[in-house]
Amino acid sequence: MRIHLKRIIDNSYDIRFVNNISEAGADIRSTYPDARVFIITDVNVGKHYAGPFARCVSGRTAPAYVLRIPAGEASKNRTMKESLEDQLISLGATRNSVIVALGGGMIGDLAGFVAATLHRGVSFIQIPTSLLAQVDSSIGGKVAVDHPQGKNLIGAFFQPKKVYIDVSTLKTLPDGEFRNGMAEVIKYGAILDGKLFTFLEKNRAAILRKNPNIMHAIIERCCELKRAVVEKDEREVDYRRILNFGHTIGHAVEQVSNYRIAHGKAVAIGMAAEAKVSTALGILSSNDAARLEDALKAFGLATSFPAKMRTTAIFDMTLRDKKTQQGKVHYTLLEKIGKARVGVPMSRVRAQELFER
Ligand code: GLY
């Protein structure tokens, strides 16, 4: 006998720009008037936003709870997921409950994965408060935890019901975190939008001042670019790998550093390295590689491997990349500023040899 499971699924959702977090809170409560709402945040973000936000979400009969966890990538693991699940179940979370991720990429990935498996899936909302999460990780439904063997090795595709972006949260974002986000912004320009890249080059000072209008325009453009990628290839069968430019080597650097080097910073190093590989392969001009490196440096990002890190250790680590098949690491490389090439298979030895040329 055959079980027929062909389905047409509508996972569409809105990204809504709000003037403040309270606006998001009020909207959530009116969309889910009777649901228990569980806000998962980290201690840093929670300090600024959790209290006021929870007050807006709390209904007379349907309370809101705040679950705080330590900040940093080290919290994105199975133990923390289990601890959140225990708390959610003991606080009475049901299938009709709503989980809100209030924070940066780590919180979104972890809370999203909790939401994906609790009661086989509960409504999930993203309120990204870091630049990196606003332009990238809150959109597209990738949720996961890390494993000692690699980053994001255990996870799911689980789309949020809505994403609320409040650009003013960048005011409380530490400078290092802002730079991490800029690495992903530069990535969008490099792989998909030469005009955005030039805009970043020309508006460096205003961006570093976090000028709200300019940041709003940049974030909105990045969301449009990510939307177009995700709409074409939600499950990363092929095209979505374009977003992995800089990430194969970047993830390796992040892991070799034991997550002491933050994601965005590692991706900047990875982009510079993968641009070098692209140039050595003859598909990227050295002029465009230099433009990329200059842009990364202009936003305070490093472009070479940390002095104490062995190049061989980094390339060995790339073999653990999820996209590695039969010993070949699949790279996204750059053809020019604004255009990338997806899925270039290379042995780890060949990639290192091109990098060192
Ligand atoms: N951050 C890469 C992706 O969402 O595919």
Active site residue 48: no
State yes or no: pLDDT of 7 exceeds 90: no
How far does the centroid of ligand 1 lie from the alpha carbon of residue 137, in Å?
6
Per-residue confidence (pLDDT) for residue 229, from 0 to 100: 98
Active site residue 356: no
CATH of the domain at 224: 1.20.1090.10
Per-residue confidence (pLDDT) for residue 264, from 0 to 100: 96
- Structure confidence at residue 60 as a pLDDT band (50, 70, 90): confident
Specify the ligand 1 atom closest to the Cα of 243: 2
pTM of the model: 0.95
Domain span at residue 127 reads 14-171
Specify the ligand 1 atom closest to the Cα of 140: 4
Active site residue 263: yes
Q: Which of 73, 97, 36, 91 is nearest to 259 (CA)?
A: 73
Q: Which of 171, 200, 215 is the last residue of a domain?
A: 171
Q: In this structure, is residue 2 part of a structural domain?
A: no
Per-residue confidence (pLDDT) for residue 176, from 0 to 100: 95
**Is 167 in the same domain as 178?**
no
Specify the ligand 1 atom closest to the Cα of 142: 4
Residues 299-309, mean pLDDT to the nearest whole number: 96
- Around ligand 1, the residues with Cβ closer than 6 Å are 136-137, 140, 142, 240, 243
CATH of the domain at 49: 3.40.50.1970
pLDDT tens digits, 161-218: 999 999 999 999 999 999 999 999 999 999 999 999 999 999 999 999 999 999 999 9
How far apart (Å, rounded) are the C-alpha atoms in residues 61 and 311? 58
Q: Which of 171, 189, 216 is the last residue of a domain?
A: 171
Tell how strand 14-17 and strand 123-128 pair up: unpaired
Q: What is the 3-state secondary structure (H, E, C) of the chain?
A: CCCCCCCCCCCCCEEEECCCHHHHHHHHHHHCCCCCEEEEEEHHHHHHHHHHHHHHHCCCCCCEEEEEECCCHHHCCHHHHHHHHHHHHHCCCCCCCEEEEEECHHHHHHHHHHHHHHHHCCEEEEEECCHHHHHHHCCCCEEEEEECCEEEEEEEECCCCEEEECHHHHHHCCHHHHHHHHHHHHHHHHHHCHHHHHHHHHCHHHHHCCCHHHHHHHHHHHHHHHHHHHHHCCCCCCHHHHHHCCHHHHHHHHHHCCCCCCHHHHHHHHHHHHHHHHHHCCCCCHHHHHHHHHHHHHCCCCCCCCCCCCHHHHHHHHCCCCCCECCEEEEEEEEECCEEEEEEEEEHHHHHHHHHC
How far does the centroid of ligand 1 lie from the alpha carbon of residue 168, in Å?
24
Q: Which residues contact 55 (CB under 8 A, 6 or more apart)?
A: 25
Four-residue CA torsion sign, 139, 292, 245, 150: negative
How far does the centroid of ligand 1 lie from the alpha carbon of residue 241, in Å?
8
**Is 91 in the same domain as 123?**
yes
Per-residue confidence (pLDDT) for residue 62, from 0 to 100: 87
How far does the centroid of ligand 1 lie from the alpha carbon of residue 3, in Å?
32
State yes or no: pLDDT of 120 exceeds 90: yes
Which among 139, 244, 245 is the best mutation to test ligand 1's pocket, defined by most ligand atoms within 8 Å of the CB? 244
Per-residue confidence (pLDDT) for residue 326, from 0 to 100: 85
**Is 159 in the same domain as 179?**
no
**Is 223 in the same domain as 102?**
no
